[in-house]
Structure 1
Amino acid sequence: MFLSHGLLESKPVPLADLPPDLRLKVIGAAGAGFPSPAQDWEETAIDLVELLRLDRAASFVFRVSGQSMVDAGLFDSDVVIVDRDAKAVNGRIVIAVVDGGFVIRQLSMRSGVPVLEARNSQMRYEPVVADEHVEVWGVVRASVRNLKV
């Protein structure tokens, strides 16, 4: 699903029906630091459904659009995996329904009041008080980024 300028363009769809053979072959370990004795470890495949826990009825996928969360490491076109059954607590990134549309924000407590805040120090976004007019829809559990080269 897609988030456009903070708003979802269509309804989210559960991922429980993904094909069971969605697997990637692992070629080998790619060192990103000092050589490790674990480099000889090899696995033949990664099951993306299992790795990202996409086979749960409460798991959904959204595509981020916009720059409001770049300081939290979420960029335009990133894909986020959202759990509807996870508890939204202070500091977690959430998907919320604000003014009838979906937004992605960080849940923060300010003087005991839950607030949804953007994370981009280069732009100004008004915080939104998470009151009875705002529904915290789910908690972001993981993100996937295409490193277009």
Structure 2
Amino acid sequence: MLLPIAQPVPLAVMAPGLRLKPIGVAGAGFPSPAQDWEEDAINLVELLRLNRAASFVFRIDGTSMVDAGIADRDVVVVDRDVAPRSGHIVIAVLAGGFVCRQLVHRAGVPYLEARNSRQSYPEQIADDQTEIWGVVRAAVRDYQR
């Protein structure tokens, strides 16, 4: 789905970072040997590197990137100062709107590909009419929605 072009605001102009105190370490398999480890606080702005003039946030609208781990309503952190390479997830400007796609080079030709095996999307060559606006660095998901 194409979204209208808006003027993104650099995250560097945000208020000082939110600091969260971790309760502990939770293993995602076996119990963690690092359970006694403790960190004073997590600064989300520093963790996600949002305090850079070239960092922006977009909310994803749609399911075209679910196979890449980016779902509808997720928030992605985008860097404008990273050179896009084949394999990067990017925000691009197509037909006057922003889209989230994976940049893939095949036989030297750059393509913007959706990552949803349950739907088909038209082939999109990243030609002169396409602007790669930035590279997605992180995604944040609210699991309670």
Q: TM-score, normalised by structure 1?
A: 0.92
Q: Does 1:61 align with 2:57?
A: yes
SS in 1 for 2:34: helix
Q: CA RMSD in A?
A: 1.3
SS in 2 for 1:60: strand
Indicate if the aligned counterparts of 1:6 and 1:66 stay in contact, CA closer than 8 A.
Answer: no
Indicate if the aligned counterparts of 2:11 and 2:53 stay in contact, CA closer than 8 A.
Answer: yes
Distance between the aligned counterparts of 2:4 and 2:128, measured in 1? Answer: 20
Going from structure 1 to structure 2, the CA distance change for 1:58 and 1:142 (only over 3 Å counts) comes to same
Q: Does 1:27 align with 2:49?
A: no
Q: How many residues align?
A: 145
What letter corresponds to residue 11 of structure 1 in structure 2?
Q
Indicate if the aligned counterparts of 1:6 and 1:104 stay in contact, CA closer than 8 A.
Answer: no
- Report the alpha carbon displacement of residue 16 of structure 1 after superposing the two structures with TM: 0.3
Percent identity (aligned): 65
Q: Does 1:107 align with 2:103?
A: yes
Summarize deviations over 1:11-47 as a string: whole Å, max 9, x none. Answer: 2111002222411111111222222331100012100
Gaps of 5+ in 1: none
Summarize deviations over 1:62-104 as a string: whole Å, max 9, x none. Answer: 0001010011110000000000000100010000011111100
Q: Does 1:81 align with 2:77?
A: yes
Q: TM-score, normalised by structure 2?
A: 0.94
Summarize deviations over 1:89-124 as a string: whole Å, max 9, x none. Answer: 001000001111110000001221000010111111
What are the within-5 Å matches in structure 2 for residues 44-55 of structure 1? 44-55=40-51
- Report the alpha carbon displacement of residue 9 of structure 1 after superposing the two structures with TM: 5.9
Summarize deviations over 1:122-144 as a string: whole Å, max 9, x none. Answer: 11111211111000000000000
Distance between the aligned counterparts of 2:133 and 2:86, measured in 1? Answer: 15
Gaps of 5+ in 2: none
